[in-house]
Amino acid sequence: MESTIYLDYAATSPMYPEVIEVMSEAMQTTFGNASSIHQFGRKSRGYLDEARAVFARSIHAKSNEIIITSGGSESDNTAILKTAEKYESLGKHIITTNIEHEAVLKPMKYLESKGFDVTYLPADKDGFVSAEQVKAALRNDTILVSIMSGNNEVGSIMPIAEIGSILKNSNPAVVFHTDAVQSYGSQDIDVDEMNIDLLSVSAHKIGGPKGIGFLYCRENIKLPSLILGGEQETKRRAGTENIPAIIGFQKAVELMMKDKKQRNVYYRKLKEKLINNLKQAGVDLEINGSYDSSLPHIVSIYLKGIDAERLLIHLDLVGIAVSTGSACTAGNVDPSHVLSAMFGVEHSAISETVRISLGLGTTEKDIDKVVIELSKIIKRLK
């Protein structure tokens, strides 16, 4: 096999070399428990505090509003389950969408089994949910709204600021959570301007290590800890902090913030090149969702008449890695719930769609190779 091409960054990203470097050094030199009062603990605590400040600045929050977690799933579960637990006496109605990540949808299903009433707002054919839909669904007993910032399969960007404004002006007691795991690396986020109360982030989507993330929690919202045990994270998340991973996460955030605008422009250029060149090669395709209003690194392509699973296998054999959708549902025989919500369960796009996602290291030569190989494979499969 010749050189491989990785185009599944929405599933996970390789770590920046700089991240690996600082983590390797930290694993050798920084082993103290950040809760210990001796010099080894104080050294770790210093790194923890510094990283927390960097995370906070990246979303215009305060340092004491950042809770270190094991990643997006824990952050989502904490935000949803513990908000429901804390505010249950005020109401049992929750609003979300039908295209959220499973880390949101499964906690919602769990809460339904406990007597909560969850409204799943339907996405339109472009994968969008409007602020007006949220407003129309609000009730006197609504306690939580959870809407993802950007969709992980089709890249649709939700009107988070508009939703936040509606909630602040009409229902200020409602807690507003957004899963920003897929959008954090490319979108500007200001939690105060956008009126966000809870926000989930994961490091491995932005060139950081796996198993680390954070939950932003507005300081006036005191959620109980999801994990019971020690009093780390000011009693908000039990468990000894993984300092090397936190240091690596900090470095990834610093690199992300340094060149985010340039990367976004570059990714959009690559996406345009990919789509135009595929069309010029005679590939019969449609873009799922809105091309112009999507995350810059994600494109979902409906390849008419081509079974996506077979296509992925052929691409893998020539060293090209793409996806049919969320890697978190790999092995699941059920069709994509996102595409099903957008098109209906019988639409052929559900089984004939590939997701291509760009990231660190993707080049124009990679796109050229993908176009050539994809075109050849499609002709063979047809």
| Contacts (Cβ under 8 Å, ≥6 apart) of 168 | 195
State mean pLDDT over 349-361.
Answer: 95
CB 242 within 8 A of CB 213: no
Architecture of the domain made up of 5-14+259-381: Alpha-Beta Complex (3.90)
327 band by pLDDT with thresholds 50, 70 and 90: low
DSSP 94: E
| Contacts (Cβ under 8 Å, ≥6 apart) of 95 | 118, 119, 121, 134, 137, 138, 142, 144, 145, 146, 147
Which sequence positions are flagged as catalytic? 328
Chain centroid, CA 281 distance in Å: 32
Q: What is the predicted pLDDT for the residue at 326?
A: 54
Tell me the pLDDT of the chain averaged across its residues: 95
Q: 17 exposed, middle or buried (CB, 10 Å; 0-12, 13-18, 19+)? A: exposed
Instruction: Count CA atoms within 13 Å of residue 331 on its CB side.
Output: 1
* Domain 17-254, CATH class in plain words: alpha beta
Domains 5-14+259-381 and 17-254 share a fold: no
Please state, for a pLDDT cut of 70, what percent of the chain lies above it: 97
- The pTM of this model reads 0.95
Q: List the one residue out of 85, 225, 202 whose CA is nearest residue 144.
A: 85
- The residue extents of the domains of the chain are 5-14+259-381, 17-254
CA 158 – CA 18 distance, rounded (Å):
32
Longest Cα separation, the chain: 68
Calculate the CA dihedral of residues 169, 172, 175, 177 and round it to 10 degrees: 20
CB 249 within 8 A of CB 207: no
Chain centroid, CA 350 distance in Å: 21
Q: What is the pLDDT of residues 169-183, one digit of tens each?
A: 999 999 999 999 999
Residue indicated by tokens 């992300």: 256
CA 180 – CA 196 distance, rounded (Å):
11
Chain centroid, CA 60 distance in Å: 19
State mean pLDDT over 319-344.
Answer: 80
CA 276 – CA 279 distance, rounded (Å):
5
